[in-house]
Amino acid sequence: MARTRTAAHQFVKLIEGSASPLYLLDAQRCITFCNAALCQWFRLSAEQLLGQRCDYLVPSGSSGDRPAPSWLCPPPEAFQGSRCSGKIFARSEHGEVLCRRAEFLPLSGSGSEACGVLVILSHDDSEASGPEDSRRDASLHELLQKLAAELRSPYRLERLVGDSVMMGRVREQVRMAIASRANTVILGPHGSGREQVARTIHSGFHCERAEPLLPLSCGVLDGELLQTTVIAFMRRCADLQPAIVPTILLLDIDQLDIEAQAELLAFFRIPTFRARTLVTAREPLLDLAAEKRFSRELACRLCTLVIQMPSLAERREDIPLLAQQFLEEHNARGGAQLSGFEPDVLDELASLPWAGDLDELAEVVQAACARAGGLRVALSDLPERVRQVKLQAAHPRREEEPIVLEEVLAEVERDLIRKALAQAGGNKSQAARLLGLQRARLLRRLTQLGLEEQRLVWRPVESDEFEETEP
C-alpha cells in the first residue's frame, strides 16, 4: 500500500511541476486538481477553481474579465471514454485573446463511461486566435468561445452572437451607443432581439454599476400614466443617486398614442430633465412622422443613434452559432450535456422560414435538446412543429380572393343583358322589354357596363325608323 501512495505522490508532484497547464475533472465535471501553470495562465487561484463544476457551455460576458469554469469543460464525448482535442481561450492582461490547444484524456472507469478527464494544454500560446484564422474546421463551440473572448467586456453577449456582416455592424453600433450615451432607437421585427440589445446598451461597460432603468411598454400607456410613472421614477432617482443620469427604456414606442407622445415630448422640453432614452420600434420613427402618425419633434429627439436589427431570415449564416448558443443554455441547466448538432439538423434549421425569429429558434432547439438521446441532436429529435412548418412552406395555402359585391352584380347584369339582346336579335327596344326596363335605362347601362359599342342599321319595323342592333 505504501508503494502505491508513493507512486501517486510522485505523479502528483510531476504534474504539479509541469510547465504545461493541466487540470483534472471527475465524472460530475467538477475540478479536482489544477497545477500552478493553469492558475497562472487564467490568473485565478487554485481555491477559485477547485470544486467548481464545469458545464459544456460558453458563459456570457457578465463574469467580467475572468473566465468562468465553464471555459474549461471538455466535450461530452470525453466523459464517454473518447479521447479528443480542442481549444481553450483566455484573455491576456493587455486585452488580447489567447488560445491553447487542449488534449482531453478520459480516465478509465468500471464501465464504458470515464470516471474523469485529464486535460493538458499546450505549453505556449502558439495558437493566438486572430481574425485571419480559418473557421471552417473549428467546432461551433470553439467559435462561440472565440467570439465571447473577443467581446468579453463588459456587457453581456447573449443574442449578439453571430459572425454575419449585419451582426458585426450591430455590435459596432452597440459599442458606439455605450460609449456615447446617446439616445438610441433599436429597430427590427418582433423576435429580432431589440429589447436584449437595449438592455445590453444600458448595462454598458460596467454591468455592476449600471444606472437605474425604467422599462415601459408603450402599447399600454396613456398620457396620464406615462407622466405619473416618469415623474415618480425621476424623483426616486434624484433622492437616491442625484449625480446619476437614469435610463428610460420605451418598448414598442411606435404603439404610443398621440396624447402620450405629447406628454413625453413635454419632458424633453424641460431644461432640467436629465434622462437617457433607449427605444425599440418596428417602424422607423421619422417615416411614421412623415405619415403624421408620430410627432416629428419627438422622433428627432429620440433618434440620435439608430440601430437596425436584422431578422433571422436576413442572417441565416448565423443560425448554426445561435443554435449552439441555445443548446449550451440547455447545458447550463445541468443534467445530461450535449456537444452539438448533426450536420443535417443545421441544414434543416437553416431552411425554415422562422416567422418568430430568435424566440422561435430558441424554442425549437430547447425542445430538440430535451428529446435528444445521444450526445448530439439528431434530425429525429426535432419537434413535430418543424415538419409542420416545412409542409406548410412546401404547400402554401392559396389566398382567397376577396369578393367585391358590386363587381359580381355588374358581371351578372352583363350576362343578362347579353342574353336578352341575343334573344331579341339585337333589338334594344325588345331587349329592354324582356328585361323589364325602359329603353333609355338599357342604353345607359350598356355604356356604364362597358359593353360593345352598337351601331345603327335600318330594319323594316312598323315605325319605319332606324334601330340599333349588333353589327
Tens-place pLDDT, residues 207-226: 556 688 899 999 888 989 99
User: Among residues of the chain, what percentage have pLDDT more than 70?
Assistant: 79
The pLDDT score that the predictor gives to residue 336 is 84
Judged against a pLDDT cut of 60, whether residue 272 lies above it is answered with yes
Q: What is the pLDDT of residue 253?
A: 94
Last residue of a domain, one of 121, 138, 155: 138
User: Is 95 or 358 the better-scoring residue by pLDDT?
Assistant: 358
Question: Do 446 and 331 share a domain, yes or no?
Answer: no
pLDDT at 235 > cutoff 70 = yes
pLDDT over 70 (residue 3): no
Co-location of 272 and 332 in the same domain: no
Q: Is the pLDDT of residue 266 over 70?
A: yes
Residue with the larger pLDDT of the pair 126 and 276: 276
Asked if 47 and 143 touch (Cβ cutoff 8 Å), the reply is no
**Which of 394, 415, 430 finishes a domain?**
394
Q: Is residue 467 predicted with pLDDT exceeding 60?
A: no
Query: Where in the sequence is the domain holding 200, given as residue range(s)?
Result: 165-308
Residue 152 falls inside a structural domain? no
CATH at residue 117: 3.30.450.20
Q: Does 286 lie in the same domain as 217?
A: yes
pLDDT reported for residue 346: 92
Please indicate, yes or no, whether residues 346 and 302 belong to a single structural domain of this protein: no
- Let me know if residue 155 belongs to a domain: no
Question: Per the structure, how many domains does the chain have?
Answer: 4
* Three-state DSSP class for residue 102: strand
In a domain, 319, yes or no: no
Instruction: Give me the long-range contacts of 203-209 (CB less than 8 A, separation at least 24).
Output: 203/154, 203/155, 203/156, 204/154, 204/155, 204/178, 205/153, 205/154, 205/155, 205/178, 206/154, 207/62, 207/64, 207/154, 207/155, 207/156
Each residue's pLDDT tens digit, 162-182: 888 999 899 899 989 988 889
Residues 171 and 285 in one domain: yes
Q: Residue 409 phi/psi, 5° resolution?
A: -65, -35
Phi, psi of 222, rounded to the nearest 5 degrees: -110, 180
Is 154 contained in some domain? no
Query: In this structure, is residue 201 part of a structural domain?
Result: yes
Q: 412 and 382 in one domain? A: no
- Stronger pLDDT, 121 or 459, i.e. the higher one: 121
- On whether both 459 and 354 belong to a single domain, the answer is no
174 and 304 part of one domain = yes
What confidence score (pLDDT) does residue 68 get? 62
The answer as to whether 181 is a domain residue is: yes
Same domain, 116 and 180: no
Q: Is 169 found in the same domain as 253?
A: yes
The rounded distance, in Å, linking the Cα atoms of 37 and 45 is: 11
366-419 confidence digits (pLDDT tens)? 999 999 989 999 999 999 888 887 776 665 666 666 777 777 788 888 888 888
pLDDT by residue (tens digit) across 81-138?
888 888 887 766 666 667 888 999 998 765 566 788 889 888 766 544 443 433 433 5
Mean pLDDT computed over 318-322: 91
CATH number of the domain residue 368 falls in: 1.10.8.60
C-alpha cell at 126: 502558439
CATH number of the domain that 452 lies in?
A: 1.10.10.60
Q: Tell me the pTM.
A: 0.67
Last residue of a domain, one of 394, 418, 452: 394
For residue 211, with 0-12 CB atoms within 10 Å meaning exposed, 13-18 middle and 19 or more buried, which class applies?
middle
Whether 128 and 175 map to the same domain: the answer is: no
Instruction: Give Cβ neighbours of residue 286 (< 8 Å, ≥ 6 apart).
Output: 296, 299, 300, 303
Residues 360 and 409 in one domain: no
* 103: in domain: yes
Residue 316 within any structural domain of the chain:
no
Please enumerate in sequence order all residues whose Cβ is within 8 A of that of 375, keeping only pairs 6 or more positions apart, or say none: 76, 77, 80, 337, 338, 339
